[in-house]
Amino acid sequence: MAKKVYSLDFCGRTLTVETGEIAKQAGGSVLVRYEDTVVLSTATASKVAKDLDFFPLTVLYEEKLYSKGKIPGGFLRREGRPSEHATLSARQIDRTIRPLFAEGFRNEVQVVNTILSVNPDIPQESAAMFGSSLALMVSDVPFEGPIAGVNVGFVDGEYIINPTLQEIEASTIELSVAGTIDAVNMVEAGANEATEEEMLEAIMFGHEYIKKLCQFQIDIANEIGKEKMEVTLKVIPEELKQEVSELYETRLRESVKIVEKLERYNKIDEVSDEAVAYFEAKSYESDKEKEKAIKYVKQTTHDIVADEVRRLISVDKIRPDGRSVSELRSLNSQIDILPRVHGSALFTRGETQVLTVTTLGAQGDNQIIDDLTDVEEKRFMHHYNFPPYSVGETGRMGSPGRREIGHGALGERALSYVLPTFDEFPYSIRLVSEVLESNGSSSQASICAGSMSLMAAGVPIKAPVSGIAMGLVTYDDHYTILTDIQGMEDHYGDMDFKVAGTEKGITALQMDIKIKGLSRQILQEALEQAKIGRHDILQNMLAT
């Protein structure tokens, strides 16, 4: 294919896309030039589906320090493991595009974004998200996009798209929002105690510009997009589903109603294992056919449980643990439980429990940053650890994974807006959140425990911060918004919308969804319902 160049005047800056010259052997590739920020985005899929029960999507965000004229630090003087910024940027793209692949699609898909040149005033993350979507659109990968993302600032009562560094310094909202041409499907934000109305308007303001970027991609894909590959979606035979349902559906649905988490899961596993044993005892033409049948049985029992959870919540308005849709789990807060540390707090919400410890240090203890952001060192750090024993399992322990890095960053963002300045409190501050038990919303529990731990350590924060996770279940033609979701509601539901803030306003947002997008009405209801829950949690924390 010959080289093609497309341009769009986007918010007073030139956005240029080049195709047909670079990385031509990838399934789809685009070179995105947003003024002086340049990103190469590629998307490639395996030709054969993997025999997996999940979609094997990998999104990579490759920071190259030469892009800002910098030689990497360290002994080797070359890029190594991804920086925290790179990990968080990759997660944002993943969360945005993942819902837009067909259910049952199991071909391995790899999206790689290589940052080649950086203008600090031009958001490389938005360029990479745009490039990821467009690379998928012009490739042979069956992708139900496009999507796009923008940054939104709020300065002197005015919303700004893709603010410069100077504008970010003055902004009371730092929002990254992404979505399709029809709806929003990813939100990541920090704010200086913004109101729910301000956050909602920022999200919807950003979406108006997302529509323009999506239409630009549609026009390009219509001209040069490849024919999409023929794929075989993983479909369970109806006869097998019917047999599993006849034998085990009633007991599986009853198991969902058990209130205690481990007892509930043990009962579900018991019935599922019985179903597997029954089908294992049958005769098959080959071992491969037997293996396939067993996987189908496991998927069918999973689907029955999922449907019952969703039906109970949407139709009967009953949650697995018996709460109403807007009811919090039981709360318990304690401080100063460790004798030799600077500050500690234990926060328990239902079957989720987090211990957060504060350590104060000198300015020389600041974290040195070696990435593509303009930040050279960091005074405040929040590290989140999620050991397997917290959910009654064994597993790998070691360096943090993407999820732990993401949850730590969310807590850090939520608490950073209430910290004193260095002149007011000349110390480095490190928080470590140890998840001791988990049944959902552990990241928000770490925010609550972190806030109390800071106060226990004598850090003069402006106001305590609480966090809550909101859920969504759609069923037939209606939806239900849930306050303080637990693990089962997160796993089988459609949304995990985390909201943190003070009594005055919001300091952090993060939204993941499994459906294609959310309407303004759902976003507004979720924010208002979260406000009530956050304030109730704050009252419990302040009574400690």
230/523: higher pLDDT: 523
Site of tokens 């064994």: 394
Mean of the per-residue pLDDT values of the chain: 95
How does pLDDT run across 248-297, given as a tens digit for each residue?
999 999 999 998 888 999 999 999 999 999 999 888 888 888 888 999 99
The CA distance from 205 to 492, in Å, is 30
For strands 380-385 and 466-475, give the pairing. Answer: unpaired
pLDDT single digits (tens) 78-132: 988 899 999 999 999 999 999 999 988 999 999 999 999 999 999 999 999 999 9
> Three-class SS of residue 313?
helix
* d(C-alpha 267, C-alpha 258), whole Å: 9
Greater confidence, 39 or 317?
39
* Angstrom distance (rounded) from CA 380 to CA 425: 12
Q: How many CB atoms lie within 10 A of CB 406?
A: 23
Residue 370 tokens, joined: 């070696």
Work out whether strand 28-34 and strand 13-19 pair parallel, antiparallel, or are unpaired. antiparallel
Query: pTM for the whole thing?
Result: 0.93
Residues 148-169: tens digit of each pLDDT:
999 999 999 999 999 999 999 9
pLDDT in tens, 335-374: 999 999 999 999 999 999 999 999 999 999 999 888 888 7
Q: Residue 153: left if φ>0, alpha if ψ -120 to 50, beta else—which one?
A: beta
Q: Residue 99 is encoded by which pair of tokens? A: 């819902």
DSSP 3-state of 126:
helix
Residues 6+ apart with CB under 8 A from 260: none
pLDDT in the model for residue 433? 99
Rounded distance between C-alpha atoms, residue 318 and residue 480, angstroms: 11
- Name the residue with tokens 């993401």: 406
Residue 13 near residue 34, CB atoms below 8 Å: yes
For residue 308, pLDDT over 90 is answered with yes
Does residue 394 surpass a pLDDT of 80? yes
**Statement: residue 1 has pLDDT above 90:** no
Q: Percent of the chain scored above 90 by pLDDT?
A: 86
* Listed residue (369, 372, 370, 368) closest to 123, CA to CA: 372
Give all domains of the chain, ordered by start, each with its CATH number.
4-224 (3.30.230.70), 238-316 (1.10.10.400), 331-542 (3.30.230.70)
- Taking the C-alpha atoms of residue 461 and residue 472, their distance in angstroms, rounded to an integer, is 33
The 10s digit of each residue's pLDDT in 434-444 is 999 999 999 99
